[in-house]
Structure 1
Amino acid sequence: MDKPFKRFEPHGQGGPRIREIPLRLMFPNLVTVLAICAGLSGIRFGFEGRFETATVMVLLAAFLDGIDGRLARLLKATSKFGAQMDSLADIVNFGVAPALVLYAYLLDRAGSPGWIAALLFAIACGMRLARFNVLDEQKDRPAWQNEYFVGVPAPAGAMLVMLPLYLSFLGLQPTRPIAFAATAFTVLVAFLLVSRLPVYSGKSLKIPGDRVLLVILAVALYILLLVSYPWYTLTASVVAYLIFLPFSVLAYSRRAKKEGEAILPPDVDEGSRD
């Protein structure tokens, strides 16, 4: 008589034991976990009314979540587990956390439209991340198109949508009209996330050797400004990014004409799960 339950076989024929896993393979996943902790802590601080700390935690979560993949590739520690964990963390850090903190501070003054805007942003972020994963698996795209994101990337969307918070910390009063304006801006950012807008990624950008020191100095200056004048610097960064978007579209159009390709990136089957 057969037993009702078969003996459990470990996945992957057992796989490596924990003691056999090098520490460098765990480090990127640890960064992802810290990003989740920062994002959820930002939500907590928002509920407690500590909005400046909440904003810093959400931005820290976005930063950590943006570097864990690059860190994994740098350490040659990429894995399917890490990729899936990073994808699940992205929706929290780039979508849910910014939307809830912004709603707790300002959008709730707009009533139901404010909550609808927060929901739309979180949903758009999830759709944007799903599309990114699909495009990342496509190998038949022209190489030059890999230099562009399709739509505003999720980390940038998280930074953009919190502009009303930066302005409030600079003295803008969170009144009901401002709440409605922030609601409209949140919806705009949500549409930018899921749009077909080609956004230059800078992945293949190479710096001439004679300008490396200038670039290092510029990065150091930006970090110093960010530490000394965080809200002014973040506001200026958002404005600069929004100005950059039309130039990115223009550069893509010129490159597409040069390569003889279609003006927009190839369509993606959003419903595909293969």
Structure 2
Amino acid sequence: MAPQPNRPRRLRDLRSVPVLPSLITLGNLYFGFLAMAKVTDVVREQGMSVDVIRNPEVLGHFEIAAFFLFLAMVFDALDGRVARMTNQTTAFGGQLDSLADVVTFGVAPAFCAKVLINLYEGNPDALLPPHPKVYYFCAAVYVLCAAMRLARFNVEAAAGEGDDHLEFRGLPTPGAAAVVAAVLAFWCSRKETNNVVTGWLFPPEIFDHVVVALPGLLVLLGLAMVSKLPYPHAFGLLVSRRAGSFPLLASLVLLIGLCTVEWQLGLLVCTLTYLLSGPVVGLYRLVRRGRVDPPDRDGEGVASSPSVDLTVPGRY
């Protein structure tokens, strides 16, 4: 067997694993597992009967699972910053972060959504036709696209592409998981009796219609993750000097107010707005680029200064 001269150095690198950032990353993975375990308790305790849809205990399990997914996002946002603050950025941390993200933001949201779909599958009043293979496919598309999204980022990071922490190329995996978690939380709000805004805006059947749309939403989220649509880095945008926008501030105030009144609806609005921001910004840039470079009389483009692509990969 050929000798491996770099093996001692690799072993030394493993002996110097950063403890605090790794613990935070493992916290991300831990809460992703808890979300799946909490949803599994529904099947273990209540079974798959159609009567469990409006069971308060079932709604509580899904609500806690959604909370765990959001809590995992907090840990995911902290581990990289803690590693940079303590000067403990290592290859081990990057690999652990990607593995944790595949489970927490790839497998866990699809699993929770699939269990909820299964609860509706046999309900004749839920408007969800029984096509189990289609539902398996939709959930699998989400998981596979999340894995490809993370793998693409690792390749781009290894190639040394820059990141100004202002924009992602494709929907980030935590953003996709946030949409699924917000849908779960909104569905669980059907047990609330004082949701005035939801009752004023939507009919009572809205909660069932959300689940009907969930398989298609999983596919849409998967395609958005592997796309190259520009998505803003929310935290980086807020602390950037280029984010001094009064309309943005006013919109955030309105969203915070909505979350204060009905946090489930507020989270759903926030996450869906973020999901739609990629296509909207991408289309705006495409139209703007066409206006900047109009064709000349002979049908050929007028020479202009090269455009700068501000789309950069972001950290997951």
TM-score, L = length of structure 1: 0.73
CA distance in 2, matches of 1:114, 1:246: 25
CA distance in 1, matches of 2:150, 2:90: 18
One-letter amino acid matched to 2:264 = W
Aligned residue for 1:149, secondary structure, equals strand
Aligned residues: 247
Partner of 1:168: 187
Q: Quick check: 1:98 aligned with 2:109?
A: yes
Partner of 2:126: none
What runs of 5+ residues in structure 1 fail to find an aligned partner?
A: 267-274
Instruction: Please point out which of 65, 87, 100 is paired with 1:89.
Output: 100
CA distance in 1, matches of 2:223, 2:93: 29
One-letter amino acid matched to 1:244 = S
Q: Quick check: 1:27 aligned with 2:60?
A: no
Q: 1:178 to 1:259 in 2, by over 3 A?
A: same
1:87-107 alpha-carbon deviations (Å, 9 max, x no partner): 111101110111111111225
| 1:110-259 mapped onto 2 (5 Å cutoff) | 110=130, 111-139=132-160, 147-171=166-190, 175=208, 178-201=210-233, 203=236, 206-207=240-241, 222=256, 229-250=262-283, 252-253=285-286, 254=288
Q: 1:16 to 1:194 in 2, by over 3 A?
A: closer
Partner of 2:198: none
Q: Quick check: 1:58 aligned with 2:69?
A: yes
Partner of 1:12: 9
One-letter amino acid matched to 2:73 = A
Instruction: Please point out which of 26, 36, 40 is paired with 2:29.
Output: 36
1:250-270 alpha-carbon deviations (Å, 9 max, x no partner): 56555896862387969xxxx
CA shift at 1:164, angstroms? 3.0
Aligned residue for 2:28, secondary structure, equals helix
Q: 1:231 to 1:259 in 2, by over 3 A?
A: farther
1:114-145 alpha-carbon deviations (Å, 9 max, x no partner): 2211111011100011111122233467x78x
One-letter amino acid matched to 2:34 = S
CA shift at 1:180, angstroms? 3.7
Q: 1:259 to 1:236 in 2, by over 3 A?
A: farther
The percent of aligned pairs where both chains have the same amino acid is: 27
CA shift at 1:155, angstroms? 0.8
Deviates more, 1:27-36 or 1:108-117: 108-117
One-letter amino acid matched to 2:219 = V
CA distance in 1, matches of 2:172, 2:38: 25
Q: Quick check: 1:260 aligned with 2:295?
A: no
Larger relative contact order (CA 8 Å, sep ≥ 6): 2
Could you tell me whether the CA contact under 8 Å between 1:107 and 1:180 is conserved in 2? no
TM-score, L = length of structure 2: 0.65
One-letter amino acid matched to 1:206 = S
One-letter amino acid matched to 1:130 = A
CA distance in 1, matches of 2:82, 2:10: 28
What runs of 5+ residues in structure 2 fail to find an aligned partner?
A: 43-60, 122-129, 191-203, 293-303
Q: 1:179 to 1:231 in 2, by over 3 A?
A: closer
Q: 1:191 to 1:82 in 2, by over 3 A?
A: same
CA distance in 1, matches of 2:19, 2:260: 30
CA shift at 1:14, angstroms? 6.1
Partner of 2:90: 79
